[in-house]
A and B are shown apart, each in its own frame.
Chain A
Amino acid sequence: MGERTRQALPSVLSVLLSLLVCWMLIAFSRDMDGMATATAAYLQMLWGGVGDWPRFLDGAPATVLTRPLGEAAMKAALLTLTGLSVAVAFKVGLFNIGAQGQMLLGALAAAVVGAHLALPGALHIPAALLAAALAGGAWAGIAGALKLYRGVHEVISTIMLNWVAVRLVDNWLVVGPLRGVAEAGASITGTAEIHPTATLPRLLGDMSRLNLGFVIAALAAVAVWAWLTRTRSGFETRAVGLGDEAARAAGIPVARRAGLAMALAGALAGLAGAVLVLGTEGRYPGTLGAPYGFDGIAIALIGNNHPLGVGAAALFFGVLRAGGTRMQLLDVHKSFPELIQGLALLFVAGRLIWLAALRRRSAPKPATAAPPAPAAQVPHA
């Protein structure tokens, strides 16, 4: 078994096992025809994510394909960006639980720049994206600075920063100073509508909600991959993550690498917020409902903290989650894909169990003397 396969296999098996467990959950929670219902629900989820191919082949217009695919792609874009955020921090040995808060700040910054600045089209989108990246990066930078200068563990500080962000943005700024006012003077929920010049253009016109955000997320994944594997600073970042003592001894500026990686993580999460606001919502809504920032943790770990693995995991769960809405036809709640995703993360957390099981299978004679245990890798060791 190749090294790459061995790295990817636990994630793949975890996702499959999770799909199976959740299938049984539907099957056993129904009094009659449980198995048929569960299978039908999974099929609805699939058609809701990759497009309704049966209906298309029966002659339905192409929108039965492009609408679901567009939804899946946009969910995947958000999951990719927050997943990359968590993965980049992991690469330098930090656990970024704060992607949610960073995303909130990014979304707010994008909404403010999009609504309150008047810029020509070519500049407005980049300006809003930049503002979001800076806001997210600054929020993550607080956690980074606390870690580097005050020794505060980033898990605790990012959890606290998440809730500070939620409370300050959702319970104060968006309902108070930054609340939008509609035409007739009646107030609306959320911030003011962004200008058309700041709206991310749709790639397929009216056929789906697919917009430039998907391209941004894909480019980000490739760029992070290239940075980590092809540049000196990326290599140094990974070296710090694998062992900061050794990295320091090799002359790598450990603090600078850790700080920059954390800021980059925040910037990526901030971009997710921008894509959400500039692409689909059009403003910062009353509350930024979906916890894409927390999902990013699952996506990063299921993707094994590899930028392209993150992209793959995000595409897969983007499809499932876009299809989740169609499961409601069979009385399965639309959040069901989140359960699949959570269980998959739980199984991925048992990575060492998978590796031990795989080792036992591939070992020729388990009875021989102590097997040479390969250095088992904890996700962010």
Chain B
Amino acid sequence: MLEILHRLLFATLDAAPALVFAALGAVLSERAGVVAVGVEGMMRVGAFCAAVAALVMPTPAAVGIGMLAGAALAAVHGFLCIRWRSDQVVSGIALNLVALAGGTFLLETHFGPNGTPPIQQLQPLHWPELASVPLLGALSGHAAPTYLALLLPLLLQGMLTRTPLGLRLRAVGDKPHAVATLGLSVPALRWGAVLGGGLLAGLGGAVLSTTVLDRFEQHTPAGLGFMALAAMVFGRWTPLGAFAAAAFFAFGNALRIGLASSAPGLLDVVPQGVLLALPYLLTLLVLTFQGQRNSTPASLGVPYEQESR
């Protein structure tokens, strides 16, 4: 029993970071009032650029390139939505479509349909003193992103709730005009959040192609960006909530894969498709029954105009 739990935890910790980073990126962007539908696209360019960069440079540096690529796509989003007050959902969807088709085009042009050549994965770190402790031992033997994914939600939560910058970021998503009356720049704060979100989404994508896989594949990230959005909503737009939701989804997935191999009979009772749909169904249920505790940022998706009101 303990052995099974250990394996599940280990699998979860291996698979969760990409989802966690993307969800945190979405939280950062949306708390500042900019819709993050483009997370899927940012993950895709992050994954692609990291996989290609790792062919010519050490993998950790390539992960940085992937982050920058995510931020570059986010900059397009920011230019359209902050500078030009375009519709944020339209811009995000457009970025997704461009990243999807553009990734396929570049992949097929330069590497062929089977993905990029394999790269050196990020090396797992071992903690011998932990490895012997039951359950906690599952913490040992992961690549660096896993530990970052455990730490970053705390840092981001602290930043958002305990620092002046966090207060301003939240205020800019709820009442941007109030922030402007303090003499602060609404566009600058939103730019910061959007670019930060892009870095995180790009990191999520880069983690996919450097730790989960060892290349960029045709369909990466295959909807994981949208699951990150679900985690963000499920976690009520807070970093810790999004982390918990992402970890929960990843654990559920590890459980499903484990069940499929160890107890296939159980999957006749509850089909795989139903389990796969569960994260999205649960998110819908949470939204349906949130009642008065609506935690959506008040000005989410509303372009900021100094002159209005």
Contacts and interface: CB of A to CB of B under 8 A. Distances in A.
Contacts of A156: 229, 233, 283, 287
11 contacts: A163-B280, A171-B271, A171-B272, A171-B273, A173-B273, A338-B100, A342-B100, A346-B80, A346-B97, A348-B90, A349-B94
Interface stretch (A129-137, A146-154, A214-222, A278-286): A146-154
A135 B280 CA distance: 19
Contact of A160 (B87, B273, B280): B280
A139 interface: no
Contact of A345 (B37, B90, B276): B90
A352 interface: yes
Given A97-B93, A176-B271, A332-B109, 15 more contacts: A155-B37, A160-B287, A161-B284, A164-B284, A168-B273, A171-B276, A172-B271, A172-B273, A294-B97, A331-B109, A332-B105, A336-B101, A343-B98, A345-B93, A378-B86
A50 to B, nearest CB: 22
Given A167-B276, A378-B86, A160 B230 contact: yes
Interface in B68-96: 76, 80, 84-87, 89-91, 93-96
Contacts of A297: 90, 93
* Most A Cβ at <10 Å: residue of B91, B94, B229, B296: B94
B272 A172 contact: yes
B97 A164 contact: no
B158 interface: no
Interface of B: 35, 37, 76, 80, 84-87, 89-91, 93-98, 100-102, 104-105, 108-110, 223, 226-227, 229-230, 233, 271-274, 276-277, 280-281, 283-284, 287-289, 294, 296, 301, 303
B10 to A, nearest CB: 25
A159 interface: yes
Q: Is the interface of A mostly helix, strand, loop or mixed?
A: helix
Nearest to A173: B273
Query: What 7 A-B pairs come out closest when comparing CB atoms?
Result: A172-B273, A342-B97, A171-B273, A167-B277, A339-B101, A346-B94, A333-B108
B294 A342 contact: no
A155 B300 CA distance: 12
A336 B105 contact: yes
Contact of B80 (A175, A332, A339, A350): A350
Q: Is the interface of B mostly helix, strand, loop or mixed?
A: helix
A298 interface: yes
Nearest to A150: B288
B84 A164 contact: no
Interface in A79-102: 95, 97
Contacts of B230: 159-160, 163
Contact of B86 (A169, A176, A333, A350): A350
Contacts of B281: 160, 164
Contacts of A164: 277, 280-281, 284
A152 B283 CA distance: 11
B274 A168 contact: yes
A159 B288 contact: no
Contact of B90 (A151, A301, A339): A301
Given A168-B277, A333-B104, A350-B84, A298 B97 contact: yes
B287 A335 contact: no
Contacts of B296: 153
Contacts of B85: 352, 378
Nearest to B274: A172
A126 B95 CA distance: 38
B76 to A, nearest CB: 7
Contacts of B108: 333
Contacts of B272: 171-172
A71 interface: no
Nearest to A30: B109
Contacts of A343: 98
A338 B284 contact: no
Contacts of A160: 230, 280-281, 283-284, 287
A151 B277 contact: no
A159 B226 contact: yes
A338 B97 contact: yes
A188 B276 CA distance: 23
A342 B37 contact: no
Interface in A294-335: 294, 297-298, 301, 331-333, 335
A70 to B, nearest CB: 24
A160 B228 CA distance: 11
Given A29-B109, A155-B37, A168-B274, A349 B104 contact: no
Contacts of B87: 349, 378-380
Contacts of A257: none
B35 to A, nearest CB: 7
B101 A338 contact: yes
A170 B230 CA distance: 20
